[in-house]
């Protein structure tokens, strides 16, 4: 675990965007549920535990379409009719494929070797061309970027930033803000702690930016990663971005070895605590949330595993309000 007691007072610049107004125009948009789970509050010794349940978001079983939809919309304004190109661990690619069909353009989605065949089929089922590479996620992103660069008729819609590629990932982060604005409205006040599942850290960037605005309450932000792909945790320990090797993980959406370059300075400044969890702990959380009536896949349920691992060190008050972002449904 990593903790940074001074990060709560960090203040980041706000970023205005009209992503939420755009989301409201999409068919089927409505805020996702925020579910009170008193049994977990008792277990953790806090006042309330609430789960933001992203198992059904704009017709897909994960939050990722919030970022992909806004970014695809913006990219296609710049490059009308372009083929949308991306690499994915699963949810982002499916969301880009869905949006390409929505906007009537073709899509090519690069996927890493560890992707389950059924996940690749879901992406292909949206009408996208799926290219499976015998590489990990980070290299699949490089391949997608190279493929997109080969023709002006192709546009990369990637959910992670690197030097020289920040505009599109910025739109993706802006799109994730919708989830946080809904949460504010549903809760009526800032929580004491929000737990966030982390792959490349773009969702986490959105959360930290949102909860480090000037003049507003600054809740504790806890990041949760697989112990086999803990790039944010390792980077925080090192004090600089480091790439970690990745293998297989049940938390497929979190299986990334390199933190987004745009996310890094925001996380380094404003993230309070980071923890890594095992596959077994995540699967136990999937089962426990399922038993409480919340459909949560391993990447989403990781936040319950994370708060279980970190609760003692965080010394939360017994009336604390804890929000867990459950970013995907359980498809198994």
Residue 224 contacts residue 278 (beta carbons within 8 Å)? no
137 is written with which tokens?
A: 């996620």
Q: For ligand PLP, how many residues bind (rule: CB under 6 A)?
A: 21
Q: Which whole-number Å values give the CA distances from 169 to 37, 75, 99, 124, in the listed order?
A: 33, 11, 16, 23
Q: Which stretch binds ligand PLP (CB under 6 A): 5-13, 88-96, 144-152, 210-218?
A: 88-96
Q: Which whole-number Å values give the CA distances from 124 to 115, 132, 143, in the listed order?
A: 13, 11, 18
64 classed as catalytic: yes
* Given 72, 120, 200, 230, the residue binding ligand PLP (CB under 6 A): 200
* Given 92, 154, 210, 211, the residue binding ligand PLP (CB under 6 A): 92
10 Å CB burial of residue 315 (0-12, 13-18, 19+) is exposed
Residues in 297-316 that interact with ligand PLP by CB under 6 A = 299-300
CB-wise, 62 or 286, nearer to ligand PLP?
A: 62
Which H or E run contains 24? helix 19-25
* Given 32, 74, 86, 91, the residue binding ligand PLP (CB under 6 A): 91
CB-wise, 95 or 320, nearer to ligand PLP?
A: 95
Contact pattern for ligand PLP over residues 122 through 161, marking x by CB under 6 A:
-------------------------------------x--
CB-wise, 74 or 255, nearer to ligand PLP?
A: 255
Active-site hit among 53, 89, 159, 174: 89
Cα(256)–Cα(88) distance, rounded to whole angstroms? Answer: 10
89 classed as catalytic: yes
Q: Which whole-number Å values give the CA distances from 4 to 230, 239, 278, 291, 322, in the listed order?
A: 17, 12, 22, 34, 19
Cα(251)–Cα(148) distance, rounded to whole angstroms? Answer: 27
Cα(176)–Cα(203) distance, rounded to whole angstroms? Answer: 6
Contact pattern for ligand PLP over residues 32 through 71, marking x by CB under 6 A:
------------------------------x-x-------
Q: Which stretch binds ligand PLP (CB under 6 A): 108-116, 193-201, 208-216, 241-249?
A: 193-201
45 is written with which tokens?
A: 């010794």
Q: Which stretch binds ligand PLP (CB under 6 A): 39-47, 195-203, 268-276, 288-296?
A: 195-203
Cα(300)–Cα(282) distance, rounded to whole angstroms? Answer: 9
Residues catalogued as catalytic: 64, 89
Interface with ligand PLP (CB under 6 A): 62, 64, 89, 91-92, 159, 197-204, 253-254, 256, 299-300, 327-328
């Amino acid at each position: 675990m990593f903790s940074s007691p001074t990060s709560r007072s960090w203040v980041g610049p706000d970023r205005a965007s009209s992503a939420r107004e755009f989301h409201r125009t999409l068919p089927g948009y409505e805020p996702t549920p925020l579910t009170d789970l008193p049994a977990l509050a008792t277990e953790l010794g806090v006042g309330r535990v609430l789960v933001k349940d992203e198992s059904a978001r704009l017709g897909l079983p994960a939050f990722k379409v919030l970022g992909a939809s806004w970014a695809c919309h913006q990219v296609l304004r710049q490059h009308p009719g372009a083929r949308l190109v991306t690499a994915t661990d699963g949810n982002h690619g499916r969301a880009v494929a869905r949006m390409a069909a929505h906007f009537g353009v073709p899509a090519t989605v690069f996927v890493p070797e560890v992707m389950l065949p059924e996940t690749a089929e879901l992406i292909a089922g949206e009408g996208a061309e799926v290219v499976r590479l015998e590489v990990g996620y980070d290299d699949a992103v490089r391949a997608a970027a190279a493929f997109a660069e080969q023709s002006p008729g192709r546009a990369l819609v990637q959910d992670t930033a690197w030097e020289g590629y920040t505009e599109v990932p910025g739109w993706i982060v802006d799109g994730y803000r919708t989830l946080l604005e809904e949460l504010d409205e549903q809760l009526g006040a800032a929580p004491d702690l929000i737990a966030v599942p982390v792959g490349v850290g773009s969702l986490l960037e959105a959360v930290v930016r949102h909860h480090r605005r000037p003049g507003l309450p600054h809740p504790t932000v806890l990041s949760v990663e697989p112990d086999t792909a803990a790039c944010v945790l390792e980077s925080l320990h090192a004090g600089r971005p480091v790439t970690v090797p990745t293998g297989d993980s049940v938390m497929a959406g979190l299986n990334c070895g390199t933190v987004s370059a745009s996310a890094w300075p925001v996380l380094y400044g404003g993230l309070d605590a980071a923890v890594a969890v095992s596959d077994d702990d995540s699967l136990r959380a999937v089962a426990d949330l399922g038993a409480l009536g919340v459909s949560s896949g391993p990447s989403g349920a990781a936040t319950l595993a994370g708060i279980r691992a970190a609760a003692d060190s965080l010394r939360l008050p017994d009336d604390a309000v804890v929000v867990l972002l459950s970013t995907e449904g359980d498809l198994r």
